[in-house]
Amino acid sequence: MADREVDQQLVERVQRGDKHAFDLLVSKYQRKLGRLISRFVRDPAEAEDVTQEAFIKAYRAVPGFRGESAFYTWLYRIGINTAKNHLLANKRRPPTSTPFDADESESFEEASLLREVNTPENELMSKQVVDVVQSSLQQLPEDLRSALTLREIEGLSYEEIASVMNCPIGTVRSRIFRAREAVAENLRPLLETSKGNRW
Amino acid sequence: MKHEISTLMDGELFEDDADRLFDRINRSPGARMDWEIYHLIGDVLRQPEHIHCGLSAKVRERMHDEPTVLAPRSHAVKRKIHTIALSAAASLAAVGVVTWMSQQISFEAMPQVAMQQKALRQASMQIQPKSNEYLMAHQEFSPSTDMNGGASYIRMVSYNPEGK
């Protein structure tokens, strides 16, 4: 079951009235969508509001989602439209007139113009989270670190990782889980201290 | 469950297992937190410069005020029904064609069968006068029905209470 199918399954649950399923989609895509919207709406507080609005619009529109495109592609369009409407409502021009699609969005970098802006409080929290994740990763045994990196950064499937690391798929599954859980163990105390600031 | 969540988010779990796991995640706030943290780790590893405060709690609060959305019927279910209807129609068509073809064959074969039956009837009429006497003589041994076949093994008795 590919990643797109996981999303499709969650969407179908939302269409059957399961709000928790939408919550899982929000958890999964909040940073990706927030990053996209912050390229249009540079004020961090506004960008956050627009991202929330985009998710709510997506939730209301879910009954009409037919699964013809990937869920994120669909969410991406809603995000772009919400951001543009927000700027138009505030009589501001969007930062770019050239449309770019969801696949290009990850590589779309115009640092000076579209640099993400964050509040000082969030900036500090973000830095701490990044530090904890990176230091935890460095402390992992080599085989766990490689498995997690190949999965999360290179985007390889378990089968491909098994081939690269010359081990059974079950071992890959176990290594990735153990790596994630080791990093998560170090993150949990930090996240619990930031009450109401769920990640 | 954490192990399964990790496998699920990598898209390496079977559909049925995933569906059951989503049910379990729904019932467990801890499992939802694990899902959230594992995704955060992935985002940090991919783009550490773009990590900002999460929105899910705020979106969740706003979702409380939203009425539950319901699709009239899932598009996937509609597709499945469409596929089933098409295969049922194809099966019916196939059955219809086979029935029609068998009828065509039987109509062609009918004159031959009628001729064979006529010949058999003539032969039996020739045999009948000779066999009637034999059949009458051995009627009680004839197993033509279950009762007649069993009649030879039944002894008739009578009982008269006054004749004690």
Complete DSSP assignment for A129-195: HHHHHHHHHHHS-HHHHHHHHHHHTT---HHHHHHHHTS-HHHHHHHHHHHHHHHHHHHHHHHHHST
The answer to whether A184 contacts B6, with C-beta atoms less than 8 Å apart, is no
How far apart, in whole angstroms, are the C-alpha atoms of residue B142 and residue B144?
5
Q: Is A161 an interface residue toward B (CB < 8 Å)?
A: no
Q: Which two tokens stand for residue A27?
A: 């958890």
Q: Is A143 an interface residue toward B (CB < 8 Å)?
A: no
The answer to whether A122 contacts B52, with C-beta atoms less than 8 Å apart, is yes
Closest CA to A146 of A130, A162, A129, A168: A162
Q: What is the pLDDT of residue A81?
A: 92
Smallest CA–CA separation between B109 and chain A, in Å?
A: 55
Nearest beta carbon to residue B11 from set A2, A10, A177: A2
The answer to whether A20 contacts B43, with C-beta atoms less than 8 Å apart, is no
ipTM score here?
Answer: 0.84
Q: What is the pLDDT of residue B134?
A: 77
Smallest CA–CA separation between A37 and chain B, in Å?
A: 12
Quick check: A133 and A183 in contact, CB under 8 A? yes
pLDDT at A104 over 60: no
Q: Tens of pLDDT along A74-90?
A: 999 999 999 999 988 88
Share of chain A above pLDDT 70, in %: 82
Q: Tens of pLDDT along A43-62?
A: 888 888 899 999 999 999 99
Max Cα separation, chain B?
Answer: 119
3-state secondary structure of A70: coil
Q: Is the full-model pTM beyond 0.95?
A: no
Smallest CA–CA separation between A90 and chain B, in Å?
A: 23
Quick check: B3 and B34 in contact, CB under 8 A? no
Residues 46-65 of A with CB under 8 A from B: 48, 51-52, 55-56, 59-60, 62-65
The answer to whether A56 contacts B70, with C-beta atoms less than 8 Å apart, is no
Q: What is the pLDDT of residue A162?
A: 92
Q: Is A139 an interface residue toward B (CB < 8 Å)?
A: no
Residue A108 pLDDT level (bands cut at 50, 70, 90): very low
Cβ neighbours, 10 Å, residue B76 = 15
pLDDT at B79 over 70: no
Q: Tens of pLDDT along B131-147?
A: 777 777 777 776 655 55
Q: Tens of pLDDT along B26-68?
A: 888 889 989 999 999 999 998 877 676 667 778 888 888 888 8
Quick check: B158 and B152 in contact, CB under 8 A? no
Residue A127 pLDDT level (bands cut at 50, 70, 90): confident
Q: What share of chain A is helix, strand, coil (3-state, %, to 5)?
A: 75, 0, 25
